[in-house]
Structure 1
Amino acid sequence: MARRGENIYKRKDGRWEGRYIKGRRENGKIYYGYIYGYKYAEVKQQLILMKYEKQTTNHKSLRQYDGQLLDWTNYWLETFVQPKVKGSTYASYKNKMEVHILSRIGTIKLQKMTQSDIEKLLNDMRKTLKASSIRSIFSVFKTCISKAVSLNLLTDNPCRGIELPKSERKTVQALSVTDQNRLMKEVDTNQKFFSIILALQTGLRIGEICGLKWEDIDFENNTLGVNRTILRIPKNDAGVRKTEIVEITPKSQNSSRRIPISDSLRTKLLELHKVSTSDYVISHKHKALEPRTVAYRFQVVRKKIGLEKFSFHSLRHTFATRCLEAGGNIATISSLLGHSSTKMTLDCYTNSFLSEERQLVEKLKFVS
């Protein structure tokens, strides 16, 4: 039931729904926009702001556009996204929109799309996707629609006010020292699994390991440079969904970095270099080994020694955890990992500080 004098209603799902006049169609008929929230006061405040915004922007005329969401998305991707981002980013955006958005609501006319359509879309997504995946997809979708608003193809962004599921903080899966030693013993003498040693001793991402070339290694100064990464990305070939291997520069300025290597790793690299016939450190028949193959090889080893709950990415976490245990500061570890900020490192490895926190508390003297 609505509060007196207000278009704010309590929904069956426990949320409040606020309604405002969004505009008029060509035939003069009014159509509405909606705001959702779990608190009445929040919805009322957003409704007030929205009504004020509509009053101050009513001078903008809605451009006539009869296309579907599918048409607009393809135009947005090709005109505003593809020229400005890396091929892997473009492929990721395109895949998210095609698989999760356009396959469900792509035939809806852009200017007739409502928050109700988007709410139904999110409800469908919740059935099969994790909260973090939904938020990632929705971020691309919202950017796409925001561009339509800026070009006056829409008077308002129907994504605004949508309640997204909260993503749970990921817990870091790092190997214990005992398990790490077992793994190292298993792969130490087999060059086929050298990628595992690299991950454990440098913290490189799987794509960075695949893209590592001998020219990136400075044996004189005991360092290696991260200058490229190899990825498998989606590819649409005449309507048939395929994938392709691409070699690109690191995703950010921080990802491109130089890492010191230990004497023991330098020795192993020198031994491998003597017998290598490829430009790449990890290779097969002169070509770079792709991430999927590297991950499969790790899967074979982990099953053999009973470490099935760990992924190849766990090796990167293990490297970071060993650095923390050795007393490394966050800024240094963040730089080694190529994180965009120390905050990202802290968010990833909060649980790894537990032993340090325990030692600190035990040193405190409390008066009983």
Structure 2
Amino acid sequence: MPKRNPNGAGTVTKRKDGRYQAAVYVPQPDGTRARKIVYGKTWDECDDKRRELVERDQQGIPTPTRSAKLSEWLPYWLEHFIKPQCKRTTASKYEMHVRLYLLPLLGSKGLESLSPRDVRLFLAKVTERASAATAKESHKVLRTALTSACRDELISRNVAMMVPPPRVVSKESRPWTLDETLTFLAAARTDPLYAAFVLAIALGMRRGEIVGLRWSDVDLDNRTLVVREQVQRIGGELYSGTTKNGKRRPIPLPRICVVALRWHRMRQDVLRHLAGAEWQESDYVFTTRTGRLVEPTNVYRSFRRIAAAAGVPVVRMHDARHGTATLLVACGVSPRIVMEILGHSQIGLTMNVYAHVTQDSQRDALANMDRLLRQRR
């Protein structure tokens, strides 16, 4: 028989029935430690299992002494897998789906006992309570969490991958026409956030990118702008992070943007003088009357208020990006350039917009074909 194992390496003993058992204290998915017992017909077989448990412990891999429940694994997964590796916005979205849907509906299920039927029933309930789009996002979170459990060898299969997510019918947004866009800009000309609306319409900048814009990223003399970060409210506080695709985006400024930003900078200088000691100096372009960072929600509220007052369709501010693509395509800009201006991560996103806004051009081309084929009678 080998010498006694050191502390923490477990023990191997012989049972009354002739078999052997090994006992090792191993980490659990919830961060605690518990005694894990494995069995073998021979001492060597049992010792191999003991060594495997010790190696998993040294690597920090949890080994549940029983079938861990989703209510134990999901919080552990969020804390040790998602938060250290993902953006704060992503972690917040995943936490919301875990808190509102996964834990209440699947928390009592064991990792190993979770079945495809359980997942199908879960998706049906989320679709009924919220929407198919929400169910699809919850399915993605569950699939990602179970993938991590598979990699940690807590389960042998990912049942979420066996169940397709629900189909989502995208709502087709109607961008503003050129007349509606001009009407909105005319109505917004006296608003303190006029320059923000010009950037949203002319450049297709996202709301968080507009709020996170700094004067150090704006060169009005050379008519350029660099989108580096976005500001969002997460967990009750304003959070500044990277752009959606994680890349900086330089954009040349059209004249309307240069004029609007020059006017906005002069207005901000006046506010700084009036605020005096109450002014909180920052490099942000869009601030409150005392220099504080403006709320992204307030930008959207002003956008909707002006649209309603101007008599144009009240749309999401994000739909202004669709309108930007419409105007760019009407000017003959290629999809690749549109993709770079809007900051899409994939050309497929741009092509969906491009295909929608080129229907008029296709209609004109086929009308020309009709005239050509009808020339000879």
The answer as to 2:347 corresponding to 1:355 is no
Structure 1 residue 327, shift from structure 2 partner: 0.7
Distance 2:126 2:170 in 1: 20
Structure 1 residue 129, shift from structure 2 partner: 3.0
TM-score, normalised via structure 1 length: 0.76
Structure 1 residue 151, shift from structure 2 partner: 2.1
Distance 2:206 2:193 in 1: 18
Alignment-derived partner of residue 70 in structure 1: 71
Structure 1 residue 112, shift from structure 2 partner: 2.1
Q: Secondary structure at the match of 1:288?
A: coil
Say whether the 8 Å CA contact 1:65–1:111 is kept in structure 2.
no
Q: Secondary structure at the match of 2:108?
A: coil
Alignment-derived partner of residue 245 in structure 2: 252
Q: Which of 318, 330, 335 is 1:330 aligned to? A: 335
Distance 2:181 2:313 in 1: 13
Structure 1 residue 282, shift from structure 2 partner: 1.5
Alignment-derived partner of residue 279 in structure 1: 283
Distance 2:140 2:353 in 1: 21
Encode CA deviations 1:37-69: one digit per residue, 9 max, x unaligned: xxxxxxxxxxxxxxxxxxxxxxx9996443320
Distance 2:344 2:166 in 1: 25
Distance 1:178 1:308 in 2: 12
**Aligned pair count?**
300
Alignment-derived partner of residue 212 in structure 1: 213
The answer as to 2:373 corresponding to 1:366 is yes
Q: Given the superposition, is the C-alpha separation of residues 200 and 211 from structure 1 closer, same or farther in structure 2, using an over 3 Å criterion?
A: same
One-letter code of the match for 2:261? L
Larger radius of gyration: 2
Distance 1:349 1:65 in 2: 53
Encode CA deviations 1:121-144: one digit per residue, 9 max, x unaligned: 111112133333322221121010
Q: Secondary structure at the match of 1:279?
A: coil
Distance 1:169 1:346 in 2: 15
Q: Secondary structure at the match of 2:84?
A: coil
* RCO comparison, higher one (Cα < 8 Å, 6+): 1
Q: Given the superposition, is the C-alpha separation of residues 302 and 112 from structure 1 closer, same or farther in structure 2, using an over 3 Å criterion?
A: same
Say whether the 8 Å CA contact 1:198–1:209 is kept in structure 2.
yes
Alignment-derived partner of residue 127 in structure 2: 126
Q: Which runs of 4+ in 1 moved over 6 A?
A: 60-63
Say whether the 8 Å CA contact 1:172–1:348 is kept in structure 2.
no
Q: Secondary structure at the match of 2:181?
A: helix
Q: Given the superposition, is the C-alpha separation of residues 63 and 333 from structure 1 closer, same or farther in structure 2, using an over 3 Å criterion?
A: same
Distance 1:180 1:307 in 2: 8
Structure 1 residue 171, shift from structure 2 partner: 2.0
Distance 2:352 2:113 in 1: 40
Encode CA deviations 1:62-88: one digit per residue, 9 max, x unaligned: 964433202101111111211111111
Structure 1 residue 170, shift from structure 2 partner: 4.0
Structure 1 residue 116, shift from structure 2 partner: 2.0
Distance 2:197 2:129 in 1: 32
Structure 1 segments unaligned to the other structure (5+ residues): 1-59, 236-242
Q: Given the superposition, is the C-alpha separation of residues 148 and 188 from structure 1 closer, same or farther in structure 2, using an over 3 Å criterion?
A: same
More off after superposition, 92-101 vs 165-174: 165-174
Say whether the 8 Å CA contact 2:101–2:138 is kept in structure 1.
yes
Encode CA deviations 1:249-297: one digit per residue, 9 max, x unaligned: 213244x201111123212211221232452221112122121110111
Say whether the 8 Å CA contact 2:211–2:231 is kept in structure 1.
yes
Q: What percent of counterpart residues are identical?
A: 24
Say whether the 8 Å CA contact 2:231–2:241 is kept in structure 1.
yes
Structure 1 residue 96, shift from structure 2 partner: 1.6
One-letter code of the match for 2:335? I
Alignment-derived partner of residue 16 in structure 1: none
Structure 2 segments unaligned to the other structure (5+ residues): 1-51, 54-62, 273-281
Q: Which of 294, 304, 310 is 2:309 aligned to? A: 304
Distance 2:224 2:119 in 1: 50
CA RMSD of aligned residues (A): 2.2
Say whether the 8 Å CA contact 1:193–1:297 is kept in structure 2.
no
